[in-house]
Amino acid sequence: MSLSFNSKSGEVEEDGWNLMSSGGRSNHGWRSQSSVCWVGATALCLGLLLLTVIMVAHNTSAINQWDSKYTDLIHVLTKGRDELRDERDQLKIQSSNLTQELEALRSQYNDVVDSRDKLQEDIKNLHRNRTDKSCKPGWLKFNNKCYFVSPCGTSKTWEGARKDCQQKGADLVIITTRDEMDFVKSSFAITWIGLSRHEHEDKWKWVDGTFLDGDGFWQDGEPNNSDGEEDCVELSRSATAWNDVHCNQKFSWVCED
């Protein structure tokens, strides 16, 4: 741009051409900057679009993976459910079978109980028949047992008394209770009982083969084997207890059937 001085007006004048040229150059620069902005914006949009496409593709892959896992999980759960149903059905069958077996066992148990009750009733009847049976003529009954008391005035040795009982299908009395002893001693002053130690010098033995259990009903200081051969036992009414004496002595006796 050029300037000139007007002598008439006294003002400085600017060359118009130069101004027009300067304005044209300014417009051209603005258009260049605008083009750059549009290119940048377009590139940014394309970048964002590309990023969006990438993210969508990635998410789609992830979704597909989750969908596959979900499908597998559904398959596993369905299979597990079916197996549980099968197991449940098997348990129902087993439960039904066990119920039937239980009913059969209950029926068998009831049969056994009935048989047991019948046997118990039969035993009671047998016991009743046994206890109710009468003793032989001349025998005495005490506590469901039958006893034979030797005739008054007769006496025998211990062996002789036992043979007499055996001939009657019995044996010398075995005393197991105080009541039985009181019953036996009421017959005579002195009575043979079925206790001796012929075979075992150190132990007293009943005629049925059993050994004396416990202390028995001995008199004070008995048995003492005073003469060395007191191997048989008599029951004294006065002493109300047992005494060991020589087996060859003769006393009354009591048999027990």
Residue 5 pLDDT grade (very low, low, confident, very high; cuts 50, 70, 90): very low
CA angle 245, 250, 255 (to 5 degrees): 95
Q: Within 13 Å of residue 37, how many CA atoms lie on the same side as its CB?
A: 6
Domain assignment present for 159: yes
Instruction: Please give the model's pTM, rounded to 2 decimal places.
Output: 0.50
Domain assignment present for 156: yes
DSSP letter for each residue of the chain: --EEE-TTT--EEE-HHHHHHHHHHHHHHHHHHHHHHHHHHHHHHHHHHHHHHHHHHHHHHHHHHHHHHHHHHHHHHHHHHHHHHHHHHHHHHHHHHHHHHHHHHHHHHHHHHHHHHHHHHHHHHHHHHHHHSPPPTT-EEETTEEEEEPPTT--B-HHHHHHHHHHTT-EE----SHHHHHHHHTT-SEEEEEEE-SS-TTS-EETTSPBPPSS-SBPTT----TTS---EEEEETTTTEEEEE-TTS-BEEEEE-
Domain assignment present for 24: no
22-31, 119-128, 174-183, range with greatest mean pLDDT: 174-183
Of the candidate ranges 87-96, 119-128, 159-168, the one whose mean pLDDT is the lowest: 119-128
What is the domain extent for residue 183?
A: 140-256
Whether the per-residue pLDDT at 17 is higher than 50: the answer is no
If one compares 7 and 181, the residue with the highest pLDDT of the two is 181
- The whole-number pLDDT of residue 12 equals 46
Whether the per-residue pLDDT at 96 is higher than 60: the answer is yes
Whether the per-residue pLDDT at 64 is higher than 50: the answer is yes
**pLDDT tens per residue across span 131-180:** 566 899 999 999 889 999 999 999 999 999 999 999 999 999 999 999 99
Whether the per-residue pLDDT at 66 is higher than 60: the answer is yes
Q: What percent of the chain has pLDDT over 70?
A: 83
Residue 114 pLDDT grade (very low, low, confident, very high; cuts 50, 70, 90): confident
Whether the per-residue pLDDT at 19 is higher than 80: the answer is no
Domain assignment present for 114: no
> What's the whole-number mean pLDDT along residues 232-257?
93
- The whole-number pLDDT of residue 178 equals 92
Whether the per-residue pLDDT at 117 is higher than 80: the answer is yes
Whether the per-residue pLDDT at 21 is higher than 70: the answer is no
Q: What is the CATH number of the domain that holds 186?
A: 3.10.100.10
Domain assignment present for 16: no
Residue 217 pLDDT grade (very low, low, confident, very high; cuts 50, 70, 90): very high
Domain assignment present for 229: yes
> What's the whole-number mean pLDDT along residues 206-228?
89
User: Rounded mean pLDDT of the chain?
Assistant: 84
Question: How many C-beta neighbours within 10 Å does residue 154 have?
Answer: 12
DSSP letter for each residue of 167-187: HTT-EE----SHHHHHHHHTT
Domain assignment present for 31: no
Of the candidate ranges 26-30, 104-108, 171-175, 215-219, the one whose mean pLDDT is the lowest: 26-30
Domain count, the chain: 1
- The whole-number pLDDT of residue 27 equals 57
Whether the per-residue pLDDT at 31 is higher than 70: the answer is no
Domain assignment present for 238: yes
